[in-house]
Structure 1
Amino acid sequence: MTVTYDKLFIDGGWVAPTTDRRIEAINATTEEPLGSVPEASEADVDRAVQAARTAFDESGWATTNPTERAAALNRFADALEKRAELLTRSVSLQNGMPLSLSEQFEGGYAVALLRYYAALATSTENEERRPSPLGFDTLVQRSPIGVVAAIVPWNYPVVLAITKIAPALAAGCAIVLKPSPGTVLDSFILAEAAEEAQIPAGVINWVPGGRELGAYLVSHPGVDKVAFTGSTAAGRLIAENCGRLMRPVTLELGGKSAALILDDADLNKVTEGLYFASLANNGQTCMACTRILAPSSRYDEVVDAISAWMSSLKVGDPLDPSTQVGPLASAEHRNRVEGFIDKGRAEGARLVLGGGRPKDIDRGWFVAPTVFADVDNASTIAQQEIFGPVLSVIKYDGDDEAIKIANDSDYGLGGSVWSNDSERAMSVARRVQTGTIGVNGYVIDLNAPFGGVKASGIGREFGPEAMSSYQQLKSIYLPG
């Protein structure tokens, strides 16, 4: 059975697209069609931005009582929760995400984010009266920044859309979202939930399309802010455009994070925790710790433990609740990951496990869990983001060298430190140049800022900091 949508969700309703171009959704496991949706055109983006502009400027959404905005977000959460099974299965079918992870993130976490920002909208003061050392007061006002252009990737399409929708709407903004053509069916389910929740017309609009459409949206004169999650290469281009336009931008980009296994770590606990830290969504996760830093005194032991754990993972249909590694999102992406594996071999790394496609699976875009040892941190597989189930084990001597190797990267998004001594692990964690890092685990906290340093991005998502990025400040001096 395939699912077909014929209209776009713009200005609070379903409207006919301006062209007959379509985006096909393909099952990552069977390589068979799942359905299709309209591909938006520049004219459709114009309509969507104008709808958002009108909603922000004229509908009263931007100035409505925060309690009313919170109620709208909670209705949206309710409508999304009702569709959780449909939504999570849709994502897993399209990009290969194991259903257990999809249920946790694309279902539960997305709903939790909407409720979190609903509560934050009502508890955040938008005006603060500050005494001046000059003898008078200043009123500092926070107001919504305006119309937001949001571009969302294919790897966590629902939760990454909500990380933009929830704080933007809580702040009083209107938003135009461009989902990736790699995962589009879920965005229409989100739109149906927004319609049921009676989100005011024009406050949320969806325009599915490719890179060219995204570039058009980013540079649109009706946009006040851009929020992007995706590759560092695309983020640089967006940053250039936004810099020229003097347009605020949040960029959550790539990573090549390190898991620092200290010499006193319990390897059983390490391998238990590395599944999410290093292999979540088949390695298709921006903050994945794919560089495994192992002490020379225990190097062979770590390689053996990592390899044994990786070889035990169940590879297969992402809709099977017991599956731990599903297919990659597309044939093109699988080819890219296989190219990195070939590069690892060519540059002298020792292939310990995997390195190809699973022998017992004859269709679907699968790559077997792969482990390289004797990896030089300067090599391609240690420096570039692979975005697949490929781990590189790198040797170090002493905590200082481990930190130096971890920091020897263009990226700085995630990371983890593993030790039986929590204070020692905390000391190491503080010295790693990254936006987020876990101690003996890695769990993203929706109440804390998430984002990167260096080539991993600009700005933060999650927490109060995300809502602040959708607001602008005004100082009203009161010298009288």
Structure 2
Amino acid sequence: MLDIAAWNYPLLIAVNVIVPAVLAGNAVIIKHSSKTPLCGRAFTEAFAKAGAPEGLVQDIIADHAVTEGFIRHPGVNHVSFTGSVRGGREVSSAAAGRFIDVGLELGGKDPAYVCADAPFEFSVENCVDGAFYNAGQSCCAIERIYVEEPLYDRFVEAAAALIRQYAMGDPMADGVTLGPMASKGAPAFLAGQVQDAVARGGRLVVDPREFALPKQGWFAAPALVAGCPQDCALVQEESFGPVIAVLPVSGDEEAVSLMNDSAYGLTASIWTMDVARAVHIGERIETGTFYLNRCDFLDPALPWTGVKDTGKGVTLSRYGLLNLTQLKSMHLRTALPT
């Protein structure tokens, strides 16, 4: 099989594919992101050092054209891709006509719904962390927050206070809590989303201009926009950076409708002390994983999957392992008629 791995969690995401693939009896070729190509080599060397058979796990450094050639090669019978929606479409197109399985973990625009009965301080702290961890460069980061109206103003104020505490700089330096973007164009892209949201009526509660940008690196300063329209880019398009939209909702019905109003469906979270209420809402949300009072968390026992433009396929759990096997029926007639 071929694993086309992502740069933002270059070991963890790849492990979730490579290890189950090997356990299921497959040899694996790793094509890692051009931003993190040596991580693929690290896997090859680790398996060799562990005494794995030669060639069980191999890595390649390749451009798009060469990668497409691997996808079309008859020796590859399964492709796993983690990356953008555009990249997913390209992988799917390259595999078209071969009748092989293609696993796609693509974009996300993961919502959170904070109910009026939510544990307040806990919810604010975890929603902010879920949005800004790894500078927002997580496929399962919270990217839009819906807050029930009785809690809305208080939530926005408390979230803004926490966001203002982030310190940008070298992530290896003491005291730094927000690192740079991995892509040169990301800061300008994020600034465009924020400016559009404000121009369309959003309130810029945390202004990126409040922060001093480090002199070296591709940094995007944090931003919080409150009350922007549901159809603006900041709410609809994947941001993948330290920006967040917070919108008020009248109750569960409006929250469910707005959470489902998205091209993506990777994860969603609800923050409430009412478990029955959470389960009822979770059953109606179009998502791969639904959380209660947590976010951005992987459980190896649960399938990791998505719906809509987030992709198809599954990793983790027994379902992820079975996804990397080929069914075969053995119908043996051992008792012959006399």
So what's the TM-score if we normalise by structure 1? Answer: 0.66
1:246 aligns with 2:125: no
1:459 offset after TM fit, Å? Answer: 1.0
Q: Larger deviation: 271-280 or 361-370?
A: 271-280
Equivalent in the alignment of 2:18? 165
What pairs with 1:46-85 in structure 2 (closer than 5 Å)?
none
Q: CA RMSD in A?
A: 1.8
Q: Which residue of structure 2 lines up, in the alignment, with residue 331 of structure 1?
A: 184
Q: Number of residues paired by the alignment?
A: 333
Aligned pair partner of 1:446 in 283, 300, 325: 300
Cα shift at 1:358: 3.5
Tell me, in whole angstroms, the C-alpha distance in 2 between the residues paired with 1:412 and 1:236: 16
Question: Structure 1 residue 315: deviation in Å?
Answer: 2.5
Give the equivalent residue in structure 2 for 1:293: 146
Contact 2:264 / 2:310 at 8 angstroms: preserved in 1? yes
CA displacement at 1:377 relative to structure 2: 1.3
> 2:29 — aligned with what?
176
**What SS class does the counterpart of residue 473 from structure 1 fall into?**
coil
| Maintained 8 Å contact 1:338/1:356 | no
Q: Partner residue of 2:123?
A: 270
Distance 1:356 1:404, change over 3 A: same
Per-residue CA distance 1:288-321 (angstroms, 9 max, x = gap): 1111001223221121121112112232221135
> AA paired with 1:444?
L
Tell me if 1:284 matches 2:137: yes
How many angstroms does 1:164 deviate by? 1.3
SS of the counterpart of 2:304?
coil
Which residue pairs with 1:455 in the alignment?
309
Seen in structure 2, the aligned counterparts of structure 1 residues 394 and 171 have a Cα distance that, compared at 3 Å, is same
Q: Distance in 2 between matches of 1:375 and 1:176?
A: 44
Code of the aligned partner of 1:281? N
Q: Hey, what's the Cα distance between the residues in 2 that align with 1:419 and 1:411?
A: 23
61, 67, 71: which one aligns with 1:218: 71
* 2:327 alignment partner in structure 1: 473
Q: What residue identity is the alignment partner of 1:440?
A: N
Choose from 198, 207, 214 the match for 1:361. 214
**Structure 1's 154 and 419: CA in aligned 2 closer, same or farther, altered over 3 A?**
same
Q: TM-score, normalised by structure 2?
A: 0.93
Instruction: Tell me the residue number matched to 1:197.
Output: 50
Runs of 5+ consecutive residues of structure 1 not aligned to the other structure: 1-147
- 1:360 and 1:235, CA in 2 relative to 1: closer, same or farther beyond 3 A? closer
Q: What 5-or-longer segments of structure 2 have no aligned partner? A: none
> Which of 220, 230, 233 pairs up with 1:377?
230
Once the two structures are TM-superposed, the CA of residue 188 in structure 1 deviates from its matched residue by: 2.8
CA distance in 1: counterparts of 2:25 and 2:175, whole angstroms? 42
In structure 2, relative to structure 1, the CA distance for the partners of 1:210 and 1:348 (3 Å cut) is farther
Amino acid in structure 1 at the alignment position of 2:176: T
Given residue 341 of structure 1, which amino acid in structure 2 is its aligned partner?
Answer: V
Residue 317 of structure 1 aligns with which residue? 170
SS at match of 1:471: coil
What is the percent sequence identity of the aligned residues? 34
Tell me the SS of whatever aligns to 2:273. Answer: coil
- The structural deviation recorded for 1:380 is 1.0
1:352 Cα deviation from its structure 2 partner: 1.2
**Shift >6 Å, 4+ stretches:** none
Q: Secondary structure at the match of 2:245?
A: strand
